[in-house]
Structure 1
Amino acid sequence: MFGPRAWTIRRKNKLSKQQKIRIRLKAYDHKALDQSAVKIVDTAKKTGAMVSGPIPLPTEKNIYTILRSPHVNKDSREQFEMRTHKRLIDILQPTNKTVDALMRLDLPAGVDIEIKL
């Protein structure tokens, strides 16, 4: 009971009691994404929670190549790209006040939000 295994079990139980809210933001427009991240961080800090982030995640680039002409000229092509910007915010030790404030927060329509508890 007092070996190293018992210590790791007790340690895991202590870590599981701490709550964390992980918020992932995605958007095509990085300005709207950064504004949303600032709003979330300010709201969480006002309610007394600890905040880690916003952490910029790698930008995903999707490149689409199409033919310029519908018939001939296969060598003439045009490329379009779509960039998806991402941010990660961790809210440590959230209170009920924090969750209520985040639910009432008004964010732009172009920002996708994933929340994990």
Structure 2
Amino acid sequence: MAQMTHNRVRIKLKTYENKLLTVSCNNIINTINKTEAVIFGPISMPTRRKIYCVLRSPHVDKDSREHFEIRVYTKIIDIYKPSSKTVDALMKLNIPSGVDIEVKI
């Protein structure tokens, strides 16, 4: 039985600001295009929203409330057939602060 080896690197980017996400995705894609790897993505995942309800004055009016919302934007980039040059270029890449990166091999 032949075993298939999956030569794939998956990069998952998360952030609270959509502009930072597009800038970091463009930086990653430009660096990977300089090497011989094959790119699939960036794939936009659904935006996760968390809504918090807070009482404005906790002792007097329960009818007066404020709602706050936090949005988490996520994109996935798949890299097929990565070489050592690709991995080295990704390690040297500067990504703006506020972007969470998960790399799975």
Q: Tell me the TM-score normalized by structure 2.
A: 0.96
Structure 1 residues without counterparts, runs of 5 or longer = 1-8
Distance 2:81 2:26 in 1: 19
Q: Are 1:19 and 2:14 counterparts?
A: no
Q: 2:23 pairs with 10, 29, 35, which one?
A: 35
Structure with larger RCO (C-alpha < 8 A, sep 6+): 2
Instruction: Specify the alignment match of 2:102 in structure 1.
Output: 114
Q: Which of the two has greater helix per residue?
A: 1
Structure 2 residues without counterparts, runs of 5 or longer = none
Map 1:38-57 → 2, pairs under 5 A: 38-57=26-45
Tell me the amino acid that sits aligned with residue 84 of structure 1: V
Q: Tell me the TM-score normalized by structure 1.
A: 0.87
Distance 1:67 1:28 in 2: 24
Distance 1:38 1:48 in 2: 17
Distance 1:53 1:36 in 2: 13
Q: Are 1:79 and 2:70 counterparts?
A: no
Match of 1:58, SS state, is coil
Count how many residue pairs are aligned between Structure 1 and Structure 2: 105
User: Moved runs in structure 1, 4+ residues, more than 4 A?
Assistant: none
Q: 2:82 pairs with 76, 94, 97, which one?
A: 94
What value does the CA root-mean-square deviation take over the aligned residues? Answer: 0.8
Sequence identity of aligned pairs in percent?
Answer: 50
